[in-house]
Amino acid sequence: MAPKDQQGMDIMARTPRGEKSAASKIMTVTGKGGETHQQAETEENRLTTNQGVAISDNQNSLKSGARGPTLLEDFILREKITHFDHERIPERIVHARGSGAHGYFQPYKDMSALTRAAFLRDPREKTRVFVRFSTVAGGAGSPDTVRDVRGFAVKFYTSEGNFDLVGNNIPVFFIQDAMKFPDLVHSVKMEADRAFPQAASAHDTFWDFVSLVPESTHMLMWAMSDRGIPRSYRMMEGFGVHTFRFVNEKGKSTFVKFHWRPTIGSTSLIWDEAVKLAGADYDFHRRDLWNAIEAGDFPEFELGIQAFDEKTANKLGFDVLDPTKVIPEEMIPLQMIGKLVLDRNPDNFFSETEQVAFHPGHVVPGIDFTNDPLLQGRLFSYIDTQLSRLGGPNFHEIPINRPVCPMRNFQRDGLMRMDVPKGRVNYEPNSLGPDTPRETPAGFATFPEPADGPKLRERPESFADHYSHARLFWLSMTKPEQMHIVSAFAFELAKVSTIPVRCRVLGRLKLVHEDLCAGVEAALGMEGQAETLKPAVPATTMKPSKALSLIAKAPPTIKGRKIGVLVTDGADAKILKAVQDAAQDEGAMVEIIAPKIGGAKMANGSMVAAHHTISGGPSVLFDAVVLLLSAEGVKQLVREAAAVAWVHDAFSHLKVISHVAAAKPLMDKAGVEPDDGIVALEGTGGTKAFIAAAKQHRIWDREPKLRSPG
């Protein structure tokens, strides 16, 4: 069970000033039955550096003041992260499974009032970009549709140098301090003794770790929500996670949060769909992105910001430097400042998608950092990782990483050097090379934020509330989304064999919301077994935010979606043409599925080519389906398990099913029951009714009739 002190305070929660350190000479441990015993420090359990130096605090990096910047002299942090960064060669340690695309960014208006960054000042200028989407936990060969955080990294090739906005599809993170990043990733990766599970958090080590780290609670809510299984990279939001700064020509600083919003809306898979897609198409997201760009259906995202000054930040009631917190859009509205368009696939996957090197420290004049301790650690970690993964310090010369503006400095030699510097002068200042580079007042200048405080390893008090924002997220979800969160927690915890870990997680969920805990307990059959935990700061109830819910803000559209049409010989070609035309008008794609890959002969004698067979093109690949069958064709399909499963899955996954009358025997065999998502095609307005229903994306009222949480 979780270690506690005599007051029942969770030891791992005790990070703010005034509370005890997690490391102590004598640790009081509470057992399952409430009994306590003291565990003495021994030589065998003393945590040390690789040089044998005992570590007094493994939870916090060294900062100048509790909210101050992380100090370079923190040799414990540097050693820990350096070793972690070099654990895998050459595959990325995290974000190994990725897909990339080229494109451009264009601002909507001149943002010079907030920032001097050139690429945000001219609405006529298009800045080249390369974007890499990724999963986090799995290896390069893992499936696309696993439950995981997704990376959303954008490299802007600006006229002033490269700017990398390296974020995720979730706006918060599991930890508050980079000191804990190696521990987090070790816990979620394959377990060290058995090398499984791959690309999955549903195992003991991950849940053991997060159950002892209360700051992870908010991120768990997001990861266990539909956000953890996006429908497509084209339909996925992105976030910069941290609070950054804009700095204008006058040196004025404005805090900023970055958001990416897909113009066709955001949507996700449901769990059974994600599992079946992992088997049907490992490359579902990668293929979807590639095919959309090849078809000219270019993915588009708007860049939004939440901009605010320090006075506003101080009134929010939480700390903007805490990467486990969000700023509700109702508090600080989102303003859209530009559009990202992905219009070209890579020419070579390895040369571009694999060798691209992102780093949060790649900024341009007008964009600067804050003292967020997780961001501060990333500023060291990313550059260090590239040295190992790409073979040395010259990775910036690889074409995909090379700036479009000139590079002029005195950095020389090193492994895989491509440039050939000329002349005898390789130092500065110098008097022998009058044409060699010199520093300039127009160059990057760090915002002069005051920093003065004692050297210490400590979290500020303002980081201590771990449950209010998690509760905000829960209360902002629609009923279907809440049910999915309960189901996700139940599924993951059912894979955890250590019962005390389950109880500890349930205790965390109880601090978020009683209904959430009760739902997960019931789904597990563990009613009343949540461990009683005392939070460092009790949760407060914030006003729900509609912007946090995918379903509540989903636009009615099928743009960018895929419609699967199951056809047989003897089907009506006119109806097929009407469906194809209507879908095209709405910006959706139509693919044909037939019993044989050679296609089907329609009632008018024409042949229609098939994209898939029934087994090769399961309904999980599509957002809505059409059953365009003949009476003779249905007689064969009702005897085919794959055809029955095709229709059953579409119904079970809450998709709109449009059909001709002849399809009824197959629908009956598949257990399809009438509702608003079952639409007859024949007759006046059939196609129009199908399109209108499909714009709902899923029929959520159907779900409670088909499955319960667990």
Q: Running along the chain, 710 residues long, what does each successive block of 10 average in pLDDT?
A: 39 39 45 50 76 86 93 90 78 93 98 97 97 96 97 97 97 97 96 94 98 98 98 98 97 98 97 96 97 97 98 97 98 98 97 95 96 96 90 92 91 89 92 90 90 92 97 98 98 98 98 98 98 96 97 96 98 97 97 97 97 97 98 96 98 98 98 97 94 97 90
pLDDT of 95 reads: 94
Angle between helices 479-494 and 499-512 (to 10 degrees): 160
**Residue reference for tokens 């009081």:** 28
Residue 674 resides in a domain = yes
Please state, in angstroms and rounded to a whole number, the distance separating the CA atoms of residues 325 and 66: 17
Query: What CATH number should be reported for the domain holding residue 606?
Result: 3.40.50.880
| Whether 665 contacts 643, CB under 8 Å | no
pLDDT of 672 reads: 98
Q: Residue 650 is part of which domain span?
A: 562-706
Angle between helices 479-494 and 271-280 (to 10 degrees): 60
- Length of the chain (residues): 710
The pair of three-digit structure tokens given for residue 87, joined into one six-digit string: 């654990």
Query: Facing residues of 4 across strands?
Result: 10
| Whether 583 contacts 589, CB under 8 Å | yes
Residue 603 resides in a domain = yes
pLDDT of 25 reads: 52
Residue 663 resides in a domain = yes
Residue 643 resides in a domain = yes
Please state, in angstroms and rounded to a whole number, the distance separating the CA atoms of residues 645 and 656: 16
Please state, in angstroms and rounded to a whole number, the distance separating the CA atoms of residues 509 and 217: 8
Residue 653 resides in a domain = yes
Residue 596 resides in a domain = yes
SS3 452: coil
Domain count, the chain: 1
Distances (CA, A) of 552 to 204, 215, 331: 34, 27, 18
Please state, in angstroms and rounded to a whole number, the distance separating the CA atoms of residues 369 and 377: 12
Please state, in angstroms and rounded to a whole number, the distance separating the CA atoms of residues 374 and 367: 18
Question: Tell me, what amino acid is at 61?
Answer: S
pLDDT of 41 reads: 64
Torsion of CA 598, 603, 604, 606, to 10 degrees: -10
95 is catalytic: yes
Residue 500 resides in a domain = no
186 is catalytic: no
What is this structure's pTM?
Answer: 0.90
Centroid of chain to Cα 8: 34
Residue 375 resides in a domain = no
Active-site choice (60, 162, 168, 401): 168
